[in-house]
A and B are shown apart, each in its own frame.
Chain A
Amino acid sequence: MLKKVLVIDDSALIHQMYKMALMRYKCTIISAKNGQSGLDELARHPDIDLVLLDINMPVMGGLEFLQKVKELGKYSNIPIVIVSTEGKEEDTKKGMEMGAKGYVTKPIQTAALHAMIEKLIPSPG
């Protein structure tokens, strides 16, 4: 069964990179350019399995998105993974406190990302 992953990042390059990297691991990607469109996608696709979240984005950043998700409460069962940059540990720490279930660092290593997804939403069997 395909895992539905919502990628919230303002970079088209990152979206395509995730798409290429994760399609081999039976993941389908839904793209959102910022936190606000991420919330819209969550409302549109109730079957999303996991969210990959960038921190610095226009309109609504990653931390604000986490805050909104916390306030809404209804998405608390969806694991959120922060994509962080080294040197921005404060943001990562804040994000983890706000309910993120894990983080991966840039530059993205596909194997590490896949391991994180497997840990949070294990494949059946």
Chain B
Amino acid sequence: MDPEGSAISKKVEDFLNVFRKGEEFTQELLKENEKLRFKIAQLETRPQPSHREDGGQVNSLAEKIRLLEEENSALLDKFRLVEEENKDFANRYVEVEAENNNLANLYVASYQLHSTLDFSESLKIILEIVMNLIGAEEFSIVMLDEKTNELSIVAQEGMGPEARSGIRLGQGIIGTAAKTGEAYYRQGDPTELSGVDYDHPLICIPLKIKEHVIGAIVIYKLLIQKPELTGVDYELFSMLAGHAATALFSSQLYSHSERKLTTIQSFLDLLKDKKSSSS
């Protein structure tokens, strides 16, 4: 074959190859087309949801939402209630804690009051209670002399030289409180004071054994950081009225009996000495 003839046959061959590839591609497209048609037919035969069914689903979902919202608001209400309860418990805890402290202080005070039979020690303890537990700055303890019917200061704290001793029973606020046995609390704000007036105390607590008054605790001024009397202060006052009275009375009695015992003992010793010297 001449060179021109072989070039033509190569071109024909190339053309035929392109034609064959085109045929294969067309076949593939046809197959793909067939598959798509099948799928369309499948989709067309599937049952479509009706509008009514759509509405039903929406309604049931809305109902579910409503129920969940109700549940949510009920839970919120419960949460609020629990929170309120928690606050209540916290407040009660603080109250119980304060009550515990108060009881502890009352216990300490009464325990200390009865821990001695020494009169001056008892007075010191009462001063400490009034100063440290009540928070008084100027105050005194007065005792009644039943022979003269006069109240005189036996211990005091922070009081100036103008403090008056020798108050007659029934005279003024202190004398009246001691006579009637009724505690005196001045009305109004205890911090509202231009100066201390020893004739007008803030508080006067008669010291009583049953109904028998033996003296009084008289408070003229509270510490500056103590703006008002609290519940426990009144408890302390009522405890002091009885316990301080018995503590003072028994320590006084004890020291009297001790003195008498010493006198009798010395007298007996003297008698013994005389007896032995005469024999």
Binding site for B on A (CB under 8 A): 11-14, 16-17, 20-21, 24, 85-87, 105-108, 110-111
Contacts and interface: CB of A to CB of B under 8 A. Distances in A.
A107 B224 contact: no
Contacts of A107: 131-135, 223, 226
B148 interface: no
Contacts of B225: 86, 105
B271 to A, nearest CB: 42
Given A21-B101, A111-B97, A13 B129 contact: yes
Interface string B76-118: 0000000000000000000001101100110111011001000
A85 B223 contact: yes
A16 B129 CA distance: 12
A11 B97 contact: no
B150 interface: no
A16 B133 CA distance: 12
Nearest to A113: B101
A106 B125 contact: no
A21 B128 contact: no
Interface-centre pick from A13, A108, A110 (highest chain B CB count, 10 A)? A13
A16 B131 contact: no
A107 B100 CA distance: 16
A108 to B, nearest CB: 7
A105 B132 CA distance: 10
Nearest to A85: B223
Contact of A108 (B111, B115, B129, B132): B132
B135 A13 contact: no
B101 A106 contact: no
B108 A87 contact: no
Given A17-B132, A87-B224, A110 B112 contact: no
5 contacts: A12-B115, A12-B125, A13-B133, A20-B108, A107-B223
A105 to B, nearest CB: 5
B100 A13 contact: no
Interface in B118-141: 125, 128-129, 131-135, 137
Contacts of A20: 104-105, 107-108
Contacts of B125: 12-13
A91 B70 CA distance: 65
Given A13-B125, A87-B137, A106-B223, 4 more contacts: A13-B132, A13-B133, A107-B131, A111-B98
